[in-house]
Amino acid sequence: MPVASDVEESEPDADAAGEGLPINEVFYSLQGEGTLAGVPSVFVRTSGCNLRCLFCDSYHTSWEPTGAWRDVDSIVEEVQSHERADHVVLTGGEPLIHEESVELLERLAAEGYHTTVETNGTVYRDAPIDLASISPKLASSTPTPARDPKGDGEWEEKHEENRIDMNALSSMVDAYQTQLKFVVTDESDLPEITELVDRVRAATATAVANDDVLLMPEGVTREQLDGTRSEVAELALECGYRYTPRLHVDLWNDAPGT
């Protein structure tokens, strides 16, 4: 059963000069998504994000960020307490908005961990990253006033302007082993995905194979996935892209710390 660390609830300011990193939670579980689905991993979830996705599955790292500032030593020590795990997933929010994420990744690399960074692809950092799991945000993620979780539409324009940064995205693809993981709401997302993959291929020296493009159904509960997984699987077959499940949702539904 996944175990989450206890964190002090606060409201970390991504722009504040805190010590270390604002951490929402640290927990041990199975990687639920992507090419490493099923691998036991320690998840380090930072708080704070430069985007506001309509369907964000970590609401308390973006729309209402909570957590506690922690120094890198204490984070590494907690990772090491999970002795069975050789993989660490740095996630968020958007972990790469924090410069201190580079120090954490350097420390984890020195300790011999395989690191995956879950990122929206809008911030590039020079860091030892074994797998950059890039989830570019599609138009369907934009929080329009009618669909804004807070109901005020404050983030619509800012999110739409910043959700794709081709310079950062192409730099990551050329620097790291990557997977492009798209959250799919329905078939209307497919033309945008195809166009964006073509743009990435044109902008990078690194070949992006269809196997590197992952389609993942949107949904944070089993009930929601029941309505989307089959359609997204069919779209993956149609395009020759890879389908990825949300294994953690299938196993533990929307339980925290999974």
Could you report the per-residue pLDDT of 145-183, keeping only the tens digit for each?
888 888 788 999 999 999 999 999 999 999 999 999 999
Closest Cα partner for 213 from 188, 241, 189?
241
Residue 5: band (very low, low, confident or very high) from pLDDT cuts 50, 70, 90:
very low
Quote the CA–CA distance of 144 and 157 in Å, as a whole number: 9
Minimum mean pLDDT range among 8-12, 19-23, 141-145, 176-180:
8-12
When the pLDDT of each residue in the chain is averaged and rounded to a whole number, the result is 92
Please give the pLDDT value at position 8: 39
Average pLDDT, stretch 195-204? 98
Most confident of 19-23, 116-120, 148-152, 225-229: 116-120
**Considering the domain boundaries, does residue 227 fall inside one?**
no
Average pLDDT, stretch 34-54? 97
Please give the pLDDT value at position 39: 98
pLDDT at 219 over 50: yes
Please give the pLDDT value at position 153: 84
pLDDT at 128 over 60: yes
DSSP 87: E
Task: Quote the pTM value.
Answer: 0.92
Closest Cα partner for 65 from 52, 54, 76?
52
Closest Cα partner for 229 from 211, 242, 244?
244
Closest Cα partner for 210 from 198, 222, 202?
198
Question: Where would I find the beta strands (DSSP E) of the chain?
Answer: 3-4, 21-30, 40-46, 68-70, 87-91, 114-119, 131-134, 178-184, 213-217, 242-243
- As a whole-number percent, the residues of the chain with pLDDT over 90 amount to 87
Report the run of H or E that residue 171 belongs to, with start and end.
helix 166-175
Please give the pLDDT value at position 115: 98
pLDDT at 10 over 50: no
Residue 6: band (very low, low, confident or very high) from pLDDT cuts 50, 70, 90:
very low
* φ, ψ dihedrals at 94, nearest 5°: -120, 100
pLDDT at 15 over 80: no
**Considering the domain boundaries, does residue 191 fall inside one?**
no
**Considering the domain boundaries, does residue 197 fall inside one?**
no
**Considering the domain boundaries, does residue 190 fall inside one?**
no
Residue pair 63/150 in contact (Cβ under 8 Å)? The answer is yes
pLDDT at 240 over 70: yes
Residue pair 24/66 in contact (Cβ under 8 Å)? The answer is yes
* φ, ψ dihedrals at 183, nearest 5°: -80, 120
Residue 18: band (very low, low, confident or very high) from pLDDT cuts 50, 70, 90:
low
Quote the CA–CA distance of 132 and 127 in Å, as a whole number: 11
**Considering the domain boundaries, does residue 223 fall inside one?**
no
**Considering the domain boundaries, does residue 233 fall inside one?**
no
**Considering the domain boundaries, does residue 108 fall inside one?**
yes
**Considering the domain boundaries, does residue 214 fall inside one?**
no
CATH of residue 113: 3.20.20
Sort residue 220 into left (φ over 0), alpha (ψ -120 to 50) or beta: alpha
Residue 203: band (very low, low, confident or very high) from pLDDT cuts 50, 70, 90:
very high
Q: Please list the residues that pair with 224 across neighbouring strands.
A: none
pLDDT at 13 over 60: no
What's the domain count of the chain?
A: 1
DSSP 53: -
| Count of alpha carbons within 13 angstroms of residue 254, beta-carbon side | 12
Residue 9: band (very low, low, confident or very high) from pLDDT cuts 50, 70, 90:
very low
User: Which residue segment(s) compose the domain that 102 sits in?
Assistant: 3-179
Total H helices, total E strands in the chain: 8, 10
Lookup: tokens for 32 = 């639920």
Please give the pLDDT value at position 96: 98
Closest Cα partner for 183 from 140, 234, 238?
140
pLDDT at 120 over 60: yes
